[in-house]
Amino acid sequence: MNIKILNQIATQMVTESKGILAMDESHGTCKKRFDALNIEATEENRRLYRDMLVTAESLSSYISGAILFDETIKQKTSQNLSFPDYLKKIGILPGIKVDTGAKPFSCHSNEKITEGLDNLPQRMEGYKSLGAKFAKWRAVITIGDDIPSTACMIANSHALARYASICQEVDIVPIVEPEVLMDGPHNIQECFDVTNKMQSILFEELDKLDISLSGIILKPNMITSGSDCKIKSSSEEIAELTVRCLGNNVPIEVPGIAFLSGGQSDTEASINLNNINKLNDNPWKVTFSYGRALQLEAMKKWNGNNHNNLDAQKIISKRAHMNSLASSGQYNLSMEND
């Protein structure tokens, strides 16, 4: 493990107001998104769609890294370069999702544990030889009747720490993603309480396994009310509680925090990130690692037809630009009309 290399990569992932493009949908998630638009979920369509994303004009002005799926890291772009080689050529760091998904958690109804530790050291070496500079592992925490259990939070945090250790051993920066889902009728205070506890347990587990905090990126949810909650929180309240939660838990050694969007609309995700950055006076950089909030409108425009590439690319470039502005507190809604 080389702490200097890890810190250099992690710092590069969050500097210059750039963020991370999460394009690591598993086959199931990608099929769900394609099905909604009547796009056939074939290997070639997934390649064409992701090729359209990464070849969007000016992407590297706003995006520092792209998280790939196992299939994509082995595919070639339209320029006949592998996805990692193409990304490297345009100045974007290639990353890889290495978890194998959230599965039912034994003896705990309605809760999940993320799997993928089996053979991970060997898989990680393979991804490294394909060009990966960082990795991602997502834990899923659900708020509901009597859940999440402390056991679920401990088990997922321990798995995140084991994954982070395996990454750091070979100088791959782990993105550590403890996602408290937005699904459900819970209010913003419940989201705060659960996220605060999860982040607290997570940093305890990372510490127990001697993870070098200067060589990780945290990918958390923002503190919001649940998607079925009747009381909708203001962006200012979301920002205030999110910064408070991070301030309670994230050590100053962590170079950066890159949020997931979690089901927020594209503009909500930009406004909230902007307000968080206006409030944040902690040393870590605060940016985005969005999937849906960067991609969904571009996917709709693409619609499975490469004749739509340029129009779809304008949308992904614009979202990347807007979120880059938000990651330095310079965004406002009126820019959407420019």
With binding defined as CB under 6 A, does residue 175 bind ligand 5MM?
A: no
Catalytic residue among 97, 112, 219, 285: 219
Q: Which is nearer to ligand 5MM, 74 or 204 (CB)?
A: 74
Catalytic residue among 111, 177, 179, 205: 177
Find, among 329, 194, 177, 182, the residue nearest to 265 by Cα.
182
With binding defined as CB under 6 A, does residue 148 bind ligand 5MM?
A: no
User: What residues numbered 245-274 form the site for ligand 5MM, per CB under 6 A?
Assistant: 260-262
What is the total count of residues that contact ligand 5MM (CB under 6 A)? 15
With binding defined as CB under 6 A, does residue 22 bind ligand 5MM?
A: yes
Return the number of other C-beta atoms located less than 10 Å from residue 146's C-beta. Answer: 7
What is the smallest separation between the CB atom of 281 and ligand 5MM, expressed in angstroms?
Answer: 25
**Active-site residue flag, 177:** yes
126, burial (CB in 10 Å: exposed 0-12, middle 13-18, buried 19+): middle
Task: Compute the distance between CA of residue 139 and CA of residue 159 in angstroms, rounded to an integer.
Answer: 9
Find, among 170, 159, 86, 177, the residue nearest to 133 by Cα.
170
User: What residues numbered 29-58 form the site for ligand 5MM, per CB under 6 A?
Assistant: 29
Which residues of the chain form beta strands (DSSP E)?
A: 19-22, 63-68, 93-97, 102-104, 112-114, 134-141, 173-180, 217-218, 256-259, 285-288
What is the smallest separation between the CB atom of 254 and ligand 5MM, expressed in angstroms?
Answer: 18
What is the smallest separation between the CB atom of 262 and ligand 5MM, expressed in angstroms?
Answer: 4
Q: How many helices (H) and strands (E) does the chain have?
A: 13, 10
Interface stretch with ligand 5MM, choices 21-29, 151-159, 202-210, 322-330 (CB under 6 A): 21-29
Q: Which residues of the chain form contacts with ligand 5MM (CB under 6 A)?
A: 22, 24-26, 29, 101, 138, 179, 260-262, 290-293
